[in-house]
């Protein structure tokens, strides 16, 4: 659409480097997606938890095509950096980011309905000596609120291109791209004077002395104790620090005002002057809608009630809406397994497919509907503006355990799956707060734990009608209690530091864009399917092999055939003979001293070991170890297969003939599964989001330790209690 002569190729040798800046909630990401389509990748940058996405696009100007490399910066209100994450924006605009050079142009995104505030970042950008284009979003929303911005007049006042864009509808994109090229070719930086002359000259002097970008120097000079100053100290040493202190001292005495708070007090009057006469306001009843809605939605009483109702609906929908699809998917995999079992001749391959791959991957795939619903809800709540209200309502409660109010939704969505939960912690700007939320997210009982909970609770803890529900509730409570405790411990030790500022913009309510929500759902589904297709598949193949080989009896026959030929109860004895000699069983048996305190035998230990890559594997592994061949009881269908495994577990005996699973044993396994970090993809996402292996390693260590200690506690106390009750 942007060009008629697409084949002509670029005329400019190198693509233009363009950075996209803007406040959070201005529709920056939507604009980036609209401009770059699906052709973007994430830039890796050590030490920060935010990502910079890079997109390639073509733009046409004056009949020729140009290539643009567009860098999408994390949303920010100011270039003043107080954490490595925030310094990233400064690095990109000054050309210190990774392999990319100084940008040829900047695109600044501003919200037309909130023009003055969103021009603050713009006012910092125009001083960087790089051409700037101002993209104005939310023009429709502003019009509904009775705010009309005259873009032509604003453009004249500012002396640069101002383009109104609507990324969802696709309007203004072509004009914006042309304006970017024009600015980049023109190489004319805006000329704006906001800060006092003395500050400007000091900035220039220091830039020359240190051979640094003036933009970086300004940050080091103005943000006392900020990240730029820290970097300068690390790179240039004590002399630079002394020069910096002297320069600050001089400016402070000259202007009678502390430097850091001078900047906003200079910029806002400038903004007001530029905007004057370009914004027209009319009375409009739409104006107060958000405010009126907020009277109810953030009301201490009604607001909390509405919030609880929304959350209840959220979870109910995840379970109820997903159930039929999940059942259908479950039947499909069962059907596929038995059909393929018939098609393939007997042998190791048949066993691999029908006992390993299909049940393993199938057990994961059934959660796809839940993931889709979870992300649809998250997308809608976020895009309509409710998410900020939820964070507002929960902030005090979360602050007590050292977390931000914004951590509530990530933790809640970790009840579905910790992977999207960890991804959604991106809304937390403070690094320490975000790390605390990431590290405790896997403690929330995710949906992959549910099959284990249901199986063991059903088999061993349903003597009375209220016991299963209570057990399930208790297992979920473990997460709700332990996660805040761990967060609190972390925030008072490893992640201790000054309390971050909680300032959250409450965006106006609007109808969520279908495109935005759909995109989030598709991205989540792909990530999930890729995981099922790679990690779970691979780990099921490995687990199956470790529990299948050696597969020959001492006299050289194939075990499955021997079992097939035998009749009746013999089969279970033979199965145990076979399985107890397989590789994983040998490993597990050698770890017997480890299992004794928690009351397990090698079989439970093997299942627990096997499920470290993905906890979904635990039920399938129990099935392999305890024998769950559908051919044995042909009448069993659907839910029966679970009951079949349950009865096998109930009948399982120890070497001395006593029951393997007592209530304390079952509970210790349940507690272990509840607390343990048996999920490689969670750890991988954690590594990606924190850009280090330190945090996943820490999480794995502390969760495994907690799980093991918890299991010991439950088993020992449980056995003691059992002794008192039934001496």
Partner 1 sequence: MTSQQPPFAVEKSLDKWPLQIQGEIVSVEGTDSVACRLLEMGILEGEPIRILGYAPLGDPMEIRLRDFQLSLRLSEAQRVTVRTAPLPVD
The site for partner 1, by CB under 8 A, has a size of 51
Q: Does 430 bind partner 1 (CB under 8 A)?
A: no
H/E stretch holding 138:
none
H/E stretch holding 105:
strand 105-111
Residue 55 structure tokens: 């997109």
Q: Does 503 bind partner 1 (CB under 8 A)?
A: yes
Cα within 13 Å of Cα(280), Cβ side: 8
Binding-site string for partner 1 from residue 309 to residue 348, where x marks contact by CB under 8 A and - marks none: ----------------------------------------
Sign of the Cα pseudo-torsion (688, 690, 693, 695, in order): negative
- Say whether 471 sits in a helix, a strand or coil: helix
Q: How far apart are CA 724 and CA 718, in angstroms?
A: 10
Q: Does 289 bind partner 1 (CB under 8 A)?
A: no
In terms of C-beta density within 10 A (0-12 exposed, 13-18 middle, 19 or more buried), how is residue 723 classed?
Answer: exposed
Give whichever of 501 and 655 is closer to partner 1, judged by the CB atom: 501
Q: Does 281 bind partner 1 (CB under 8 A)?
A: yes
In the numeric block, the tokens 């609880």 are attached to 308
Q: Does 303 bind partner 1 (CB under 8 A)?
A: yes
Query: What is the nearest approach in angstroms of partner 1 to the Cβ of residue 81?
Result: 10
Give whichever of 82 and 449 is closer to partner 1, judged by the CB atom: 82
| 10, 95, 260, 468: residue in contact with partner 1 (rule CB under 8 A) | 260
| 182, 505, 527, 564: residue in contact with partner 1 (rule CB under 8 A) | 505
Give whichever of 301 and 466 is closer to partner 1, judged by the CB atom: 301
Binding part of the chain for partner 1, among 287-295, 350-358, 559-567, 569-577 by CB under 8 A, reads 287-295
Binding-site string for partner 1 from residue 393 to residue 412, where x marks contact by CB under 8 A and - marks none: x-xxx-x-----x-------
Show contacts with partner 1 in window 376-395 (CB under 8 A): 388, 392-393, 395
Cβ proximity of 76 and 89 under 8 Å = yes
Q: Does 563 bind partner 1 (CB under 8 A)?
A: no
Give whichever of 258 and 496 is closer to partner 1, judged by the CB atom: 258
Query: What is the nearest approach in angstroms of partner 1 to the Cβ of residue 493?
Result: 22
Neighbours of 225 (CB within 10 A): 8
Q: Does 137 bind partner 1 (CB under 8 A)?
A: no
Residue 606 structure tokens: 């093997």
Binding-site string for partner 1 from residue 43 to residue 82, where x marks contact by CB under 8 A and - marks none: ----------------------------------xx-x-x
Give whichever of 379 and 405 is closer to partner 1, judged by the CB atom: 405
- Say whether 610 sits in a helix, a strand or coil: helix
Q: How far apart are CA 359 and CA 536, in angstroms?
A: 11
Give whichever of 141 and 373 is closer to partner 1, judged by the CB atom: 141
Query: What is the nearest approach in angstroms of partner 1 to the Cβ of residue 303?
Result: 8
Q: Does 227 bind partner 1 (CB under 8 A)?
A: no
Q: How far apart are CA 154 and CA 383, in angstroms?
A: 29
In the numeric block, the tokens 């620090």 are attached to 241
| 226, 627, 664, 696: residue in contact with partner 1 (rule CB under 8 A) | 226
Q: Does 116 bind partner 1 (CB under 8 A)?
A: yes
Show contacts with partner 1 in window 75-114 (CB under 8 A): 77-78, 80, 82, 113-114
Hey, which residues does 56 pair with through a beta bridge? 69
Binding part of the chain for partner 1, among 47-55, 296-304, 349-357, 518-526 by CB under 8 A, reads 296-304
Residue 181: alpha-carbon gap to chain centroid: 35
Q: Does 567 bind partner 1 (CB under 8 A)?
A: no
Residue 413 structure tokens: 């969505």
> Shortest CA distance to 254 belongs to which of 314, 181, 212, 199?
199
Binding part of the chain for partner 1, among 35-43, 505-513, 532-540, 593-601 by CB under 8 A, reads 505-513
Binding part of the chain for partner 1, among 178-186, 261-269, 458-466, 556-564 by CB under 8 A, reads 261-269
> Shortest CA distance to 379 belongs to which of 405, 403, 409?
409
Q: Who contacts 3 (Cβ-Cβ below 8 Å, separation ≥6)?
A: 58, 60, 65
Q: Who contacts 239 (Cβ-Cβ below 8 Å, separation ≥6)?
A: none
| 204, 258, 320, 470: residue in contact with partner 1 (rule CB under 8 A) | 258
Q: Does 501 bind partner 1 (CB under 8 A)?
A: yes
Give whichever of 140 and 527 is closer to partner 1, judged by the CB atom: 140
Q: Does 295 bind partner 1 (CB under 8 A)?
A: yes
| 163, 228, 504, 622: residue in contact with partner 1 (rule CB under 8 A) | 504
| 265, 285, 569, 725: residue in contact with partner 1 (rule CB under 8 A) | 265
| 12, 148, 236, 287: residue in contact with partner 1 (rule CB under 8 A) | 287
Give whichever of 298 and 368 is closer to partner 1, judged by the CB atom: 298
DSSP β-ladder status, 64-72 and 52-61:
antiparallel
DSSP β-ladder status, 279-281 and 147-149:
antiparallel
Query: What is the nearest approach in angstroms of partner 1 to the Cβ of residue 304?
Result: 5
Q: Does 506 bind partner 1 (CB under 8 A)?
A: yes
Query: What is the nearest approach in angstroms of partner 1 to the Cβ of residue 226?
Result: 7
Sign of the Cα pseudo-torsion (365, 370, 376, 379, in order): negative
- Say whether 571 sits in a helix, a strand or coil: helix
In terms of C-beta density within 10 A (0-12 exposed, 13-18 middle, 19 or more buried), how is residue 4 classed?
Answer: exposed
Q: Who contacts 114 (Cβ-Cβ below 8 Å, separation ≥6)?
A: 138
Q: Does 601 bind partner 1 (CB under 8 A)?
A: no
Query: What is the nearest approach in angstroms of partner 1 to the Cβ of residue 491?
Result: 16
Residue 212 structure tokens: 């640094």
Query: What is the nearest approach in angstroms of partner 1 to the Cβ of residue 244?
Result: 16
H/E stretch holding 64:
strand 64-72
Residue 9 structure tokens: 């190729």
Q: Who contacts 592 (Cβ-Cβ below 8 Å, separation ≥6)?
A: 601, 602, 605
Q: Does 250 bind partner 1 (CB under 8 A)?
A: no
Give whichever of 72 and 294 is closer to partner 1, judged by the CB atom: 294
| 5, 156, 291, 651: residue in contact with partner 1 (rule CB under 8 A) | 291
DSSP β-ladder status, 16-22 and 52-61:
unpaired
Helices marked H in 401-460: 408-413, 418-423, 431-440, 450-460
Give whichever of 77 and 698 is closer to partner 1, judged by the CB atom: 77
Give whichever of 294 and 601 is closer to partner 1, judged by the CB atom: 294
Q: How far apart are CA 326 and CA 94, in angstroms?
A: 51
Binding part of the chain for partner 1, among 186-194, 286-294, 412-420, 479-487 by CB under 8 A, reads 286-294
Q: What are phi and psi of 251, to 5 degrees?
A: -65, -40
Task: Point out which residues bind partner 1 (CB under 8 A).
Answer: 77-78, 80, 82, 113-117, 120, 145, 147, 223-226, 258, 260-261, 263-265, 268, 281, 287, 290-291, 294-295, 298-301, 303-304, 388, 392-393, 395-397, 399, 405, 499, 501-506, 508
């Amino acid at each position: 659409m942007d060009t008629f002569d697409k084949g002509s190729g670029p005329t400019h040798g190198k693509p233009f480097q363009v950075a996209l800046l803007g406040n959070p909630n201005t529709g920056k990401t939507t604009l980036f997606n609209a401009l770059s389509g699906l052709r973007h990748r994430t830039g890796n940058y050590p030490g920060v938890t935010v990502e910079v996405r890079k997109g390639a696009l073509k733009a046409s100007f004056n009949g020729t095509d140009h290539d643009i490399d567009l860098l999408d910066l994390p949303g920010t209100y100011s270039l003043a950096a107080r954490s490595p994450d925030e310094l990233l924006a400064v690095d990109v605009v000054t050309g210190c980011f990774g392999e990319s050079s100084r940008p040829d142009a900047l695109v600044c995104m501003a919200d037309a309905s909130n023009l003055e505030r969103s021009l603050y970042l713009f006012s910092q950008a125009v001083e960087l000596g790089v051409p700037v284009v101002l993209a104005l979003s939310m023009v429709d929303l502003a019009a509904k609120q009775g705010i009309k911005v005259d873009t032509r007049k604003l453009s004249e006042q500012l002396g640069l291109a101002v383009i109104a864009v609507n990324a969802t509808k696709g309007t203004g994109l072509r004009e914006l791209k042309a304006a970017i090229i024009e600015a980049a070719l023109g190489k004319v930086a805006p000329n704006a004077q906001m800060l006092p002359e003395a500050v400007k000259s000091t900035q220039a002097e220091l830039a020359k002395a240190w051979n640094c970008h003036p933009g970086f120097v300004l940050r080091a000079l103005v943000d006392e104790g900020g990240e730029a100053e820290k970097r300068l100290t690390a790179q240039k040493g004590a002399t630079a620090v002394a020069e910096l202190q002297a320069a600050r001292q001089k400016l402070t005495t000259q202007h009678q005002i502390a430097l850091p708070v001078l900047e906003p007090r200079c910029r806002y009057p400038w903004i007001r002057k530029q905007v004057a006469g370009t914004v027209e306001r009319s009375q409009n009843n739409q104006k107060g809608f958000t405010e009126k809605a907020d009277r109810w939605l953030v009301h201490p009483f009604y607001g909390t009630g509405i919030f609880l109702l929304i959350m209840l609906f959220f979870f109910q929908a995840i379970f109820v809406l997903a159930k039929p699809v999940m059942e259908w998917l479950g039947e499909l995999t069962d059907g596929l397994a038995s059909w393929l079992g018939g098609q393939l001749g007997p042998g190791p391959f048949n066993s691999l497919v029908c006992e390993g791959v299909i049940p393993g991957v199938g057990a994961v795939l059934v959660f796809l509907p839940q993931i889709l619903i979870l992300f649809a809800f998250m997308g809608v709540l976020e895009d309509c503006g409710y998410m900020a209200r939820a964070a507002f309502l929960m902030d005090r409660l979360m602050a007590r355990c050292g977390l931000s109010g914004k951590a509530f939704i990530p933790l809640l969505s970790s009840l579905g799956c910790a992977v999207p939960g960890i991804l959604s912690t991106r809304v937390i700007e403070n690094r320490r707060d975000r790390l605390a939320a990431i590290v405790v997210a896997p403690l929330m009982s995710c949906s992959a734990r549910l099959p284990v909970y249901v199986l063991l609770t059903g088999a061993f803890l349903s003597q009375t009608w209220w016991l299963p529900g209570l057990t399930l509730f208790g297992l979920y409570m473990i997460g709700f209690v332990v996660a805040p405790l761990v967060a609190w411990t972390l925030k008072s030790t490893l992640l201790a530091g000054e309390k971050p500022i909680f300032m959250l913009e409450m965006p106006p309510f609007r109808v969520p864009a279908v495109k935005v929500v759909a995109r989030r759902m598709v991205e989540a589904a792909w990530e999930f399917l890729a995981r099922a297709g790679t990690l779970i598949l691979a780990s099921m193949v490995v687990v199956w092999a470790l529990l299948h080989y050696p597969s020959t009896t001492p006299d050289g026959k194939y075990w499955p055939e021997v079992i097939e030929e035998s009749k009746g109860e013999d089969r279970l004895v033979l199965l145990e003979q076979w399985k107890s000699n397989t590789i994983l069983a040998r490993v597990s048996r050698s770890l017997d001293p480890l299992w004794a305190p928690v009351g397990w035998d090698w079989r439970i230990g093997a299942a627990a070991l096997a499920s470290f890559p993905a906890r979904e594997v635990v039920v399938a592994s129990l099935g392999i170890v305890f024998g769950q061949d559908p051919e044995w009881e042909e009448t069993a269908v659907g839910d029966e297969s679970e009951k079949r495994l349950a009865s096998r577990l109930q009948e399982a005996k120890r070497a001395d003939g006593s029951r393997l699973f007592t209530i304390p044993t079952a509970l210790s396994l349940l507690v272990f599964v509840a607390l343990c970090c048996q999920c490689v993809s969670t750890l991988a996402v954690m590594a990606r989001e924190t850009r280090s292996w330190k945090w996943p390693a820490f999480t794995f260590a502390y969760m495994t330790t907690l799980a093991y200690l918890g299991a010991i506690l439950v088993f020992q106390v449980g056995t003691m209690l059992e002794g008192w009750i039934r001496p």
